[in-house]
């Protein structure tokens, strides 16, 4: 991987994949070693050095992406350290049919999409990944628990659930930067169309002209509204 998209690049990283080599001198055995590697220190969750944060989001994640490991615990230690520092959040994978997943995977999202700007000089590439992160963090701030919905036929970006008094709210959320292209529209609408229960289905996009409700009852909203 020649260009790491900082923490956003972890969004598609699977805990079941061996992607780091912890056997060499750069391997981390404990999350505490993140401080030694990055120079990052915090008091009351406040990051004291922007350069330290750059090291964490650039150097550390670069190591995660470019090395291979035989021990998955090294990767878990990296991710655990980043989670405990509240720099990334984990979205668990759940089965939409209610069955247990034999090998559930996770997505990881940075607490602020601005972290990516530290390494890509404010590039406007991969707007879809940035939007997905913003939507995920927005759901958390609104009190939802957001998981990645999976089935044999399709995957929903987020299954958002929230307890409202005596009932449990559930909303299926699909995220896409654009729906202008017909092929993209067909691909992104397929997962929510496959849901046949009565829970709301929502597609979040950056296309203001696409807002509305489809014939199947899927609500399309602009992310800026």
pLDDT at 160: 96
- Residue at a domain's end among 97, 125, 153: 125
Q: Are residues 157 and 107 in the same domain?
A: no
Percent of the chain with pLDDT over 90: 36
- Residue at a domain's end among 125, 147, 181: 125
pLDDT at 97 over 60: yes
Q: Are residues 56 and 161 in the same domain?
A: no
Q: Are residues 165 and 99 in the same domain?
A: no
* 184-217 residue pLDDT tens: 999 999 999 999 899 999 999 999 888 999 999 9
Percent of the chain with pLDDT over 70: 66
pLDDT at 143 over 80: yes
* Span 138-158, average pLDDT: 91
Domain that holds residue 146: 137-222
* Span 102-113, average pLDDT: 83
Evaluate whether residue 132 is within a structural domain.
Answer: no
Q: Are residues 34 and 103 in the same domain?
A: yes
- The more confidently predicted of residues 11 and 218 is 218
Q: Are residues 159 and 96 in the same domain?
A: no
Task: Report how many domains make up the chain.
Answer: 2
List, as one string, the DSSP characters of the chain: --S--GGGGGGG--TTS-----SSTT--SSTTHHHHHH---EETTEE--HHHHHIIIIIIHHHHHH---S-HHHHHHHHHHHHHTTSEEEEEEEETTSPPPSS--EEEEES-GGGGHHHHTT----HHHHHHHHHHHHHHHTT-EEEEEE-SS-EEEEEEEEEETTEEEEEEEEE-S---SHHHHHHHHHHHHH--SSS-EEEEES-GGG-EE-TT--EEEETT-
* 13-62 residue pLDDT tens: 333 333 333 334 444 444 444 444 444 444 444 444 545 555 555 555 55
Compute CA 42 distance to the chain's CA centroid, rounded to the nearest angstrom.
Answer: 24
Q: Are residues 74 and 177 in the same domain?
A: no
Other C-beta atoms closer than 10 Å to the C-beta of 100 total 7
- Residue at a domain's end among 77, 95, 125: 125
Q: What are the backbone dihedrals phi and psi of residue 104, each rounded to the nearest 5 degrees, phi first? A: -65, 140
Q: What is the pTM of this model?
A: 0.69
Per the prediction, the chain carries an average pLDDT of: 75
């Amino acid at each position: 991987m020649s260009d790491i998209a900082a923490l956003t690049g972890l969004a598609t990283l699977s805990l079941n994949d061996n992607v780091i080599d912890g056997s060499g001198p750069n391997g981390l055995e404990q999350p505490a070693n993140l401080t030694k590697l990055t120079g990052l220190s915090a008091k009351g969750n406040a990051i004291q050095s922007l350069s330290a944060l750059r090291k964490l989001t650039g150097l550390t994640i670069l190591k995660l992406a470019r090395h291979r490991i035989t021990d998955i615990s090294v990767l878990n230690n990296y991710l655990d350290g980043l989670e405990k520092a509240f720099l990334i959040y984990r979205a668990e994978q759940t089965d939409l049919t209610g069955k247990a997943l034999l090998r559930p995977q996770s997505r990881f999202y940075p607490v602020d999409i601005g972290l990516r700007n530290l390494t890509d000089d404010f590039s406007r590439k991969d707007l879809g990944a940035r939007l997905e992160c913003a939507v995920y963090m927005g759901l958390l701030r609104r009190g939802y628990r957001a998981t990645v919905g999976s089935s044999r036929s399709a995957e929903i970006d987020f299954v958002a659930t929230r307890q409202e008094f005596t009932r449990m709210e559930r909303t299926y959320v699909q995220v896409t930067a654009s729906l202008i292209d017909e092929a993209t529209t067909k691909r992104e609408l397929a997962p929510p169309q496959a849901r046949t229960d009565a829970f709301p289905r929502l597609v979040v996009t950056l296309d203001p002209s696409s807002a509305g409700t489809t014939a199947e009852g899927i609500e399309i909203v602009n992310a800026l509204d």
